[in-house]
Amino acid sequence: MSLTKRWIAEFLGTFWLVLGGCGSAVFAAAYSDRVGSATKAAASLGIGTIGVALAFGLSVLTMAYAIGHISNCHLNPAVSFGLWAGKRFPASELLPYIIAQVGGSIVAALTIYFIATGKDGYALAGTNPLATNGFGVHSPQGYTLLACAITEAVMTFMFLLVILGATDIRAPQGFAPMAIGLTLILIHLISIPITNTSVNPARSTGPALVVGIFGQTELFGQLWLFWIAPTIGAIAAGCFYHAIFESAALGQKAHPERQASGDL
């Protein structure tokens, strides 16, 4: 498959991820139902945290089946870096993939913003407008910079570990998208209260950039964390998996008699 076609797939896939995940948080997490002059409490309606977590996982799951055979469905600079560190992706293609991913996120964030402004009284206000990520006062539950950094690094490490394991040639074939989508749901259930869940620098960039342009520049100033922490976690996972698990597999291929004797 040509790099151009893979670039387009990554752009569209990341667009769908941000539109599905962040869009569900903006439009459906909580809303009011207007019936004449009566308005039901916003907290009584909407999909809530569980629904948003499901939306992120389902967006990756659906795209994995749609474009996995085209671009391998990274949709995430941290995933690209992790696969590169795990010797599964060439360094020469990192920049094109990251540009496509960030571009898709920005277009999705703009789409969400312009749809949201179609509602009377909408404003980029609150702790995490447009489903942005943040720490300190912009953490949904007020977690510190250190706590948020640890969360993002650890969650991304585990995410990449699942991706690398599920896509290993020794793993059951055809189930990787489900494992990866379910893992992303779990990650969101754990970390939405802490950072609003990034584990994806592209997912963080689109909403932060749009909010910075149209609303709060302070949130854009926190974006650096959601590039550094997920990237560190992803690279660590890639190196770990390649060194510990894939080196063992290479040893099996070189000395198949050892596998039979139970030495591996």
Residue 70: pLDDT over 90: yes
Query: What are the tens digits of pLDDT across the range 155-173?
Result: 999 999 999 999 999 999 8
Can you give the residue range of the structural domain that contains 189?
3-119+127-254
Classify each residue of 38-55 as buried b or exposed e, where b means 16 or more C-beta atoms within 10 Å of its C-beta. Answer: eeeeeeeebbebeebbbb
- Whole-model pTM above 0.85? yes
Q: pLDDT value at position 29?
A: 87
d(CA 39, CA 41): 6
What's the pLDDT at 216? 77
pLDDT of residue 257 exceeding 70, the answer is: no
CATH assignment at residue 187: 1.20.1080.10
- State the burial class of residue 145 (Cβ atoms within 10 Å of its Cβ: 0-12, 13-18, 19+): middle
Domain count for the chain, please give it.
Answer: 1
- Residue 123 — pLDDT band, cuts 50, 70, 90? confident
Any domain includes 164: yes
What pLDDT score was predicted for residue 44? 61
pLDDT range class, residue 59, cuts 50, 70, 90? very high
- Give per-residue pLDDT as tens, 19-40: 999 999 999 988 766 654 455 5
Q: What average pLDDT is seen over the chain?
A: 89
Percent of the chain with pLDDT over 70: 88
Let me know if residue 232 belongs to a domain: yes
The whole-number pLDDT of residue 31 equals: 73
In a domain, 262, yes or no: no
In a domain, 201, yes or no: yes
Question: Is residue 102 in a domain?
Answer: yes
**Total residues belonging to the chain:** 264
